[in-house]
Amino acid sequence: MTEQKRLKSALFVDFDNIYLGLRQLDEDAAEQFASNPAHWLKWLEEGMPGMTGPEEMEQRRRDILIRQCYLNPRGFQQYRPYFTRSAFSVVDCPSLTSQGKNSADIYMVMDILDTLDHPTHFDEFIILSGDSDFMPVMLRLREYDRRTTILSAGPAAAAFIAAADLIISEDVFIEHALGVGGEEGRKGANGVAVTSTATPELLDAMAEKLYAEASANGEILATDLPKLYRTFPEFRRDSNWLGFFSLRALTTHLTQRHPNLRITEGDPWRVTVALPRKRSKSKRQSAERQPQPSSEERLRKRILDLVRKLVGESGEPILMGRAAQEVINQLGDKVLRSHWAGAGTFKNLLQSEDDLGFEIATSPSPGYLYDPERHSLPRDEEAARTKDEMPPKLAEFAKRISQITGAPYLTPRQYAVLFTALAEDLKEHPYHLTSTSKAVRDRVIEQGEAISRANINNVLKGIAYAKHRFSKRDTPQSLARIYRSYVLSRCDDAELELSREEKRMLREWIESGLRELDKKKSEKKNGNGKAAESTALVKSASEDSATEGKKKSRK
């Protein structure tokens, strides 16, 4: 397979716009952008690893032949040398008004249009700016069949984003291009326990259990891991994830203890099974006929016969994981030692059989085995629960606002879990967009929710664009209010005027989940308090009775 031809690209950087936009999100990221352009320039040239986009643009290497940076010398002169050392032509764009407005956008537009007539045919124009004034030139580039890639550090107009072929989001740029994570100082960030309370024997047993569960269908979602770990008595709420401080760190350590387990990133991330390499047979072995079936083939037949029996005797669909566990219980550890008779996973083994006699359903999660003539698949309870959480009128309103503003279409309960997890993380760690979004994602997973990092990043960026500086003093309620005001401002930008009733519904959508969460916590606390009070009364009555008995005895 021949390597794809490298793109010929021209890069135009609106320095003030990107630097100030990044500084709202993460000050370290802004400094890295300004003082080390060679780092993110290399990322662009190598095909933007870690980013997804249109198939024809994704992972395309490029030669950036024109590099232009437009910079206000009055405020950012100190960063000029870093760009000149990276072979940029720096164009001074001093402020022309008392409000600090400069002419960078005009210079950029003229240079972009001039580049269209350049003797070199440029395949791609990369524009680092969120200024919607570039909209006309974006459309002109499309007319000339030139690919466009933009980075917008700040809320950008929907039409401006729609005009580009490839969008570099701020969070992807910060994490992958700038390499700013802020992971330093986070306990157990690399899967290493600081003061693990678990014995090696327990950790090995948990790793084996994790492999047994994951090998059923090749993976296990992060949201299912807490339930799995709670099957071990030593795993308690007060054990602080057995001393690893987080679900992710504990799971990373367990996968390191088992050679066939891996962590695969995603929303949510998951533990996957690494399939064993198939041993190649020699020509002589393949030529010889083997009248006797191999031990793997015999085991395969026993597994399939047992599963057919389980499905045939069941009056309802069987969870794939439960069927796999039953096979292991009845046939022993050789099932796992053989990697499911060489198939790698239970699911692969079943799917490789032409005539199972039953069907495999991968949805609803976590997957079922069933006989379509006798069984009806259960509905996706999680999807149904999410759908039923919001009244139809609120759900319709939330979906409309989400489409217009980009606010994540989450339920009030999910927003409450997100804001609570964010406030808890800020109390323990300083804010960095990348590390904070990862930590919040893992915290909500620990609560049984699967909220994507893209949605979490959207909320974090919205709060930052509202000019809020994150701190340990932030509460879930204050964060929710700030984000609601940001969504309201996005409605104003889109010229969508909300009525008083719609503003009330916006508050209900974003903030009501926290009130419900506080109510449940209060009820639980009061319930525990009443139970403790009742216990104290019983104990007091018993002591009074015992004292009275002693008095009578002395008399």
- Rounded to an integer, what distance in angstroms lies between the CA atom of residue 175 and that of residue 177? 6
Q: How confident is the model at residue 249 (pLDDT cuts 50, 70, 90)?
A: confident
Residue 149 backbone phi and psi in degrees, to 5: -130, 130
Average pLDDT over residues 325-346: 86
The residues pairing with 127 across neighbouring beta strands, listed in sequence order, are 12, 150
Element (H, E) at 206: helix 200-214
- Residue 416 neighbours by CB under 8 Å, 6+ apart: 476, 480, 513, 514, 516, 517
- pLDDT at residue 126 greater than cutoff 80: yes
Tell me the fold of 384-515. Answer: Four Helix Bundle (Hemerythrin (Met), subunit A) (1.20.120)
Q: Which amino acid is at 313?
A: E
H helix runs in 352-499, sequence order? 381-389, 392-405, 412-428, 433-446, 453-465, 476-493
Q: How confident is the model at residue 537 (pLDDT cuts 50, 70, 90)?
A: very low
Asked if omega into 268 is within 30° of 0 (cis), the reply is yes
Where do the domains of the chain lie? 8-177, 200-273, 294-370, 384-515
Average pLDDT over residues 27-35: 95
Please tell me the class of the 294-370 domain.
Answer: mainly alpha
Give one word for 456, left, alpha or beta, with left for phi > 0 and alpha for psi -120 to 50: alpha
Residue 296 near residue 341 (C-beta atoms within 8 A): yes
Q: Which two tokens stand for residue 246?
A: 């987080």
Element (H, E) at 287: helix 283-287
The residues pairing with 533 across neighbouring beta strands, listed in sequence order, are none
Least confident residue range of 199-208, 257-266, 516-525 = 516-525
Average pLDDT, the chain: 83
Neighbour tally for 82: CB within 10 Å: 17
Tens digits of residue pLDDT in 276-325: 665 554 444 444 545 556 788 889 899 999 999 998 888 888 888 888 88
- Rounded to an integer, what distance in angstroms lies between the CA atom of residue 538 and that of residue 486? 53
Q: Which two tokens stand for residue 471?
A: 């701190």
- pLDDT at residue 91 greater than cutoff 90: yes
Query: CA distances (Å), 528 to each of 157, 429, 520, in order?
Result: 51, 31, 12
pLDDT at 351: 83
pTM here is: 0.76
Tens digits of residue pLDDT in 137-186: 999 999 999 999 999 887 776 777 888 899 898 989 999 999 987 666 56
Secondary structure (3-state) at 493: helix
Secondary structure (3-state) at 61: coil
The correct answer on CATH 3.40.50.2300 for the domain covering 8-177 is: no
Least confident residue range of 105-109, 502-506, 544-548 = 544-548
Of 231, 199, 189, whose CA–CA distance to 212 is shortest? Answer: 231
- Rounded to an integer, what distance in angstroms lies between the CA atom of residue 461 and that of residue 455? 10
pLDDT at 538: 42
Tens digits of residue pLDDT in 435-488: 999 899 999 988 888 898 889 999 999 999 999 999 999 999 999 999 999 999
- Residue 442 neighbours by CB under 8 Å, 6+ apart: 222, 246, 247, 248
pLDDT at 102: 73
Same fold, 200-273 and 294-370: yes
What percent of the chain is predicted at pLDDT more than 90?
A: 44
Secondary structure (3-state) at 441: helix
pLDDT at 78: 95
DSSP code for 56: T
Average pLDDT over residues 232-259: 85
Residue 367 near residue 307 (C-beta atoms within 8 A): no
The listed CATH number (1.20.1740, 1.10.10, 3.30.450, 3.40.50) that belongs to domain 200-273: 1.10.10
Residue 264 near residue 273 (C-beta atoms within 8 A): no
